[in-house]
Structure formats: structure tokens, C-alpha cells
């Protein structure tokens, strides 16, 4: 059993804290957001993440998990301080490290004795050394002495399956100049029975960016293939299937659609490209990966404009607002980008999401938020599926056909089988499902 402080109670911090507590450790989660901590103390989750509420409640009841805004209380006797604060995009695409700096300064001012500082936030290569410097300078010569090491422990969990990803990781990466400190952090994970890779600090930090950039690249790759499929009459889902059986390629992250969004891929690919340029290299592939992603949203607008002649005053219904299913997170969600693009052309937007309505209400202007998918369909000129929630898999399409003003469906996640929809009378567009265009192009190869 170890005593752990987790700084930041967002998607990563809260999941990390709850999971480490569940593994038998004594965990205090700290946040500077007072109302978030107050709500957590009452058992109210600040985010929607399947299974989290129950896991938190269980461990609070067992006395292994507590919440505070007080650094003194959180760091008292802590052997490990995990930093899990946000690192959003700065003005030039760089990672904004202001929250990491604040956390490091608070540790420098308050920690006592021996502590291992474990950085879980996604941070530019070199940040571990920078954190070490901050603490050393701030603490320089002051008593009592602080013995500390910094370990980079990038997080690979996905929203929507965060607890499972934490408990059954493909690997744990630990980077440090102090191998003994890295080994102590490794002991926290040993029960998870996964490969544990110990590297130097900078390598661990780079593994995180390279992993996210590679996954984003796979998605942009398959989206580019999808666009070519559309023109040539091939079906990208079967192409992905056929590619994925090759063990060197694998089947995951080959779903074509509206492109990647979320709080991480967009900011991390941008930050990696920014780091590259700053250090004199040309990240041409990363630039293309981002450009393909932007265009994926624009293509939908183009298809809708073409199908409806103009988007001005047309009612477009959007199903799904979160950046992926099983989360309420709308940061950089494709649906939000799409809504802005459609509104720019005069479209009237109605939308529904099973979990993200509260978050959406705060950022979306002039959007009619509906209670059900059917309310969205009512009098719509087109319906766009932006997030593939389970709830949207089995809709009553006969009813939707009756409700819509024009029966046009843009399936941005290739969720539905086109044939039954076409036989009801819908005009169906997917992503990379080329049959329509092929026929339009007179079967020319
Ligand atoms: P988040 O925005 O959901 O939460 C961050 C939390 O940190 C907020 O509650 C905020 O109030 C708190 N905070 C900010 N400054 C603080 C300070 N000085 N002291 C204490 N608390 C402070 O962020 P997130 O999505 O959990 O991401 C955190 C980090 O983990 C980011 O670097 C992100 O790139 C990385 N990451 C995120 C995911 C994910 O799925 N969201 C996955 C892997 C890695
Ligand atoms: C992603 C990574 O998968 C995690 O390993 C990483 O820890 C995390 O970012 C992070 O650093 O924050 P997450 O953003 O939660 O996790 O969700 P993903 O499942 O990766 O999906 C990201 C985006 O890609 C979503 O918009 C999703 O719809 C899209 N996507 C995903 C596709 O368009 N096609 C796919 O085949 C897979």
C-alpha cells in the first residue's frame, strides 16, 4: 500500500486516483476547482465516464480515496505526487504548461522529506527536466530539505473506456534519470501484469506524442483512402477489413468517418508539429494528417450543399455531439466543427446527444437542442450522424422518414446499413462507401 497524491481531477486524474485506490493504495485527489471538489465529496462526478461513479463511491466508502483543494493535506506523507492537470493548446499550437508549472511550484513549496513526482499530463519533450529545475530553484537551500525525483508516466487511456484501459493497459511507460524512482513507480503497476518499459525522461515523453500522432495518422490515412473509394466505387469498410487481417497492419483505428476529435489528438499532433518546427525539422506528414482531418468535416458540408442546392435556411439535424461515444466530452468534437461550418452557410441546426447536452449548451449558440433523435428529425432537410452512440444504432427509420422534410441522411460514422435506408426512400451518404458515385460516374474505371 502506498500513499499517493493525484493533482487534477479531470478524465485522467480522477480515473488514476480511483483506480490506484481500488488497487489498495491510499489516495488523495486534489484540484484547484473548489466546486468540482465539493461535488466529488458529495459523490457527484464532474465528467461522464462509464463505471467511474461506482468505483469512486466504493473506494471513498473503503476509506482509500479522499478529495481536497488543500495541497498541504494532499501532500502530507505522500510518497508519490501524480501530476494530471490539463495541457491545452497555446496560441501557436504549443502545449500550454501553465498548469503543470503551478502544480510543480506548489509541490516545491509544500512537499517534505522524500517524494517522487510522476508526470501523467501529456507534455513536450524536456518538460521533466524543466519541472526538476523549477523545483530545485524554488527550493534551493531552504529547509527542510526535499529529496525528489521526477518520473514521466504518460497516460494512454481512452475516454469512454478509461477504467478498463487503466486496469488492463497494453503497456506502462516510465521515464526517468533516476532508475530507482522509476522502479518504485513500476511497483504501483506490477499487479496489472503488463509490460513495463523503463526509459529516460525524454524518450518516455516522446513515446506519448508518437503514439497519439501515429493513431491520428492511421485515421487520416483511412479517411484519405475513403475519399478515394468514394470516387472509384469501392467500400472503405471492406477495404479496412481486408487490410486489418494483415498482422503487420491490424484492424484497430481504421474506421473512416468525420475525422478525429477530442481533447488530445488535435492538441497533441499540433504540439508535436510545433516542437518539430521549433527544432528545425519539417513535419510534413503531421501537417498532412491535420489537413486531411480538417477536410473531412468540410467534405460533409460539400456533400450536403450539393444535395440540397444551398444550405441557406435548410434545417440540418445532428445526432451526436460528443467527440466519440460514451463520453460527455465535446472538446474539438467533429460535430461542433460541423455545426459551425453549416451555420456559416445559413443552415438552421437541431441536435441531440445522450450525454453531452450540458456541455454543448455552454458552447453552442443558435442550436435547438432536442430531447430525442425523432425531435431532431422533425422537419429536417437532412440528418447527420456525427457520433456513433449505441442509442442511434436501431432507430425507427420509417418514422424518421415520415418526420423529415427531405429524406437525406449523412452517416458520418458509417453506422447504418445503406440498403434498407435506401429502400425506405432515403438518399444515403456514408464515408467512403462508393456505390453511389460509381453509378453517377457511369461505371467508368
Ligand atoms: P481535464 O481538463 O479534464 O482536467 C484537468 C484538471 O486539472 C481540471 O479539473 C483542473 O481544474 C485541474 N487543475 C488545473 N490546474 C491545477 C493545479 N495547479 N492544481 C490542481 N489541479 C489543477 O484534463 P484531462 O483530460 O484529464 O487531461 C489531463 C492531461 O492528461 C492532459 O495533459 C492530457 O493531454 C492528458 N491525457 C488525457 C487523456 C484523456 O483521455 N482525456 C488521456 C491521456 C492523457
Ligand atoms: C486517444 C488515444 O486513443 C488514447 O490512447 C490517448 O491516451 C488519448 O487519446 C489521449 O492522449 O488523450 P481518446 O481521444 O479518448 O483517446 O479517444 P479515441 O478512441 O482514440 O478517439 C479519438 C478520435 O478518433 C475520436 O473522435 C474518434 O471518433 C476518432 N476515431 C477513432 C476515428 O475516427 N476512427 C477510428 O478508427 C478510431
Active site residues: 264
64 by DSSP, 3-state: which?
Answer: coil
* Residue 267 CA, closest ligand 1 atom number: 34
Calpha distance 440→444 (Å, rounded)? 9
Cα 443 to averaged position of ligand 2 atoms, centre (Å):
36
Calpha distance 281→125 (Å, rounded)? 15
* CB proximity list for 402: less than 8 A, separation 6 or greater: none
Cα 260 to averaged position of ligand 2 atoms, centre (Å):
7
Query: Buried b / exposed e across 104-113, counting CB within 10 Å, b at 16+?
Result: bebbbebbee
Q: Report, as an integer, the average pLDDT of 355-376.
A: 97
The protein residue with its alpha carbon nearest to ligand 1, atom 34, reads: 122
Ligand approaching nearest to the C-alpha of 171 = 2
Alpha-helix residue ranges (DSSP H) falling in 264-352: 265-278, 284-308, 334-344
* CB proximity list for 276: less than 8 A, separation 6 or greater: 282, 283, 286
3-199 shares its CATH topology with 265-442:
yes
pLDDT single digits (tens) 13-58: 999 999 999 999 999 999 999 999 999 999 999 999 999 999 999 9
pTM above 0.85, yes or no: yes
- Per-residue model confidence (pLDDT) at position 223: 98
Kindly report the CATH number that applies to the domain delimited by 3-199.
Answer: 3.40.50.720
Please say if the pLDDT value at position 441 is more than 60: no
Please say if the pLDDT value at position 438 is more than 80: no
- Per-residue model confidence (pLDDT) at position 434: 76
Average pLDDT, the chain: 96
Calpha distance 118→127 (Å, rounded)? 12
CB 47 within 8 A of CB 24: no
Calpha distance 409→134 (Å, rounded)? 54
Ligand approaching nearest to the C-alpha of 385 = 2
Of residues 436 and 174, more confidently modeled: 174
The protein residue with its alpha carbon nearest to ligand 2, atom 16, reads: 158
pLDDT single digits (tens) 323-343: 999 999 999 999 999 999 999
Calpha distance 287→294 (Å, rounded)? 11
Please say if the pLDDT value at position 253 is more than 60: yes
CATH superfamily of the domain spanning 265-442:
NAD(P)-binding Rossmann-like Domain (3.40.50.720)
Please say if the pLDDT value at position 146 is more than 60: yes
Ligand approaching nearest to the C-alpha of 122 = 1
Please list every protein residue whose CB sits less than 6 Å from any atom of ligand 2: 122, 155-159, 212, 215, 219, 253-255, 257, 260-262, 264-265, 323-324
pLDDT single digits (tens) 102-124: 999 999 999 999 999 999 999 99
Please list every protein residue whose CB sits less than 6 Å from any atom of ligand 1: 7-13, 30-33, 36, 84-87, 99, 102-103, 121-122, 155, 157, 159, 263-264
The protein residue with its alpha carbon nearest to ligand 2, atom 3, reads: 158
* Residue 327 CA, closest ligand 2 atom number: 15
Cα 443 to averaged position of ligand 1 atoms, centre (Å):
51
Please give the share of the chain, as a percent, with pLDDT higher than 70.
Answer: 97
* Residue 162 CA, closest ligand 2 atom number: 15
CB 194 within 8 A of CB 171: yes
Ligand approaching nearest to the C-alpha of 415 = 2
Q: Among 159, 184, 183, 155, which residue's Cα sits nearest to residue 170?
A: 155
- For the chain, helix, strand, coil in percent to 5 are 45, 15, 40
Domain boundaries, the chain: 3-199, 265-442
- Per-residue model confidence (pLDDT) at position 400: 98
* Residue 13 CA, closest ligand 1 atom number: 26
- Per-residue model confidence (pLDDT) at position 139: 86
The band of 437, judged by pLDDT with boundaries at 50, 70 and 90, is very low
The band of 435, judged by pLDDT with boundaries at 50, 70 and 90, is low
Cα 10 to averaged position of ligand 1 atoms, centre (Å):
5
pLDDT single digits (tens) 290-320: 999 999 999 999 999 999 999 999 999 999 9
Amino acid at each position: 500500500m502506498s500513499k499517493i497524491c493525484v493533482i487534477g481531477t479531470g478524465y485522467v486524474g480522477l480515473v488514476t486516483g480511483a483506480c490506484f485506490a481500488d488497487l489498495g493504495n491510499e489516495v488523495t485527489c486534489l484540484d484547484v476547482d473548489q466546486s468540482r471538489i465539493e461535488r466529488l465529496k458529495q459523490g457527484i462526478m464532474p465528467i461522464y465516464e462509464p463505471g467511474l461513479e461506482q468505483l469512486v463511491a466504493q473506494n471513498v466508502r473503503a476509506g482509500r480515496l479522499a478529495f481536497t483543494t488543500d495541497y498541504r493535506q494532499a501532500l502530507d506523507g505522500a510518497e508519490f505526487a501524480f501530476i494530471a492537470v490539463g495541457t491545452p493548446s497555446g496560441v501557436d499550437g504549443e502545449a500550454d504548461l501553465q498548469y503543470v508549472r503551478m502544480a510543480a511550484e506548489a509541490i516545491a513549496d509544500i512537499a517534505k522529506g522524500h517524494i517522487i513526482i510522476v508526470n501523467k499530463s501529456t507534455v513536450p519533450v524536456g518538460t521533466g527536466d524543466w519541472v526538476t529545475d523549477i523545483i530545485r530553484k524554488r527550493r534551493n537551500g531552504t529547509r527542510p530539505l526535499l529529496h525528489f525525483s521526477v518520473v514521466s508516466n504518460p497516460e494512454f487511456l481512452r475516454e469512454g473506456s478509461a477504467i478498463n484501459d487503466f486496469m488492463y493497459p497494453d503497456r506502462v511507460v516510465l521515464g526517468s534519470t533516476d532508475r530507482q524512482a522509476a522502479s518504485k513507480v513500476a511497483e504501483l503497476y506490477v499487479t496489472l501484469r503488463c509490460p513495463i518499459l523503463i526509459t529516460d525522461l525524454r524518450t518516455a515523453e516522446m513515446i506519448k506524442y508518437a503514439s497519439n500522432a501515429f493513431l491520428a495518422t492511421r485515421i487520416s490515412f483511412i479517411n484519405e483512402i475513403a475519399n478515394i473509394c468514394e470516387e472509384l466505387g469501392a467500400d472503405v469498410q471492406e477495404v479496412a477489413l481486408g487490410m486489418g487481417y494483415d498482422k503487420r497492419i491490424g484492424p484497430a483505428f481504421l474506421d473512416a468517418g468525420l475525422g478525429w476529435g477530442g481533447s488530445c489528438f488535435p492538441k497533441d499532433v499540433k504540439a508535436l508539429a510545433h516542437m518539430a518546427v521549433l527544432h528545425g525539422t519539417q513535419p510534413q506528414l503531421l501537417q498532412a494528417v491535420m489537413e486531411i482531418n480538417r477536410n473531412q468535416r468540410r467534405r460533409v458540408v460539400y456533400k450536403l450543399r450539393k444535395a440540397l442546392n444551398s444550405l441557406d435556411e435548410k434545417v440540418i439535424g445532428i445526432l451526436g455531439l460528443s467527440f466519440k461515444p460514451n463520453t460527455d466530452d465535446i472538446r474539438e468534437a467533429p460535430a461542433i466543427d460541423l455545426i459551425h461550418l453549416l451555420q456559416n452557410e445559413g443552415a438552421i441546426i437541431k441536435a441531440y446527444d445522450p450525454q453531452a447536452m450540458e456541455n454543448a449548451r455552454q458552447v453552442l449558440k443558435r442550436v435547438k437542442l432536442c430531447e430525442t433523435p425523432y425531435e431532431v428529425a422533425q422537419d429536417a432537410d437532412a440528418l447527420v450522424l456525427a457520433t456513433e452512440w449505441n442509442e442511434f444504432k436501431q432507430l425507427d427509420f420509417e418514422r424518421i422518414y415520415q418526420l423529415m422534410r427531405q429524406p437525406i441522411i449523412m452517416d458520418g460514422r458509417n453506422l447504418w446499413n445503406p440498403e434498407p435506408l435506401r429502400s425506405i426512400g432515403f438518399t444515403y451518404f456514408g464515408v467512403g462507401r462508393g456505390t453511389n458515385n460509381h453509378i453517377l460516374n457511369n461505371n467508368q474505371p
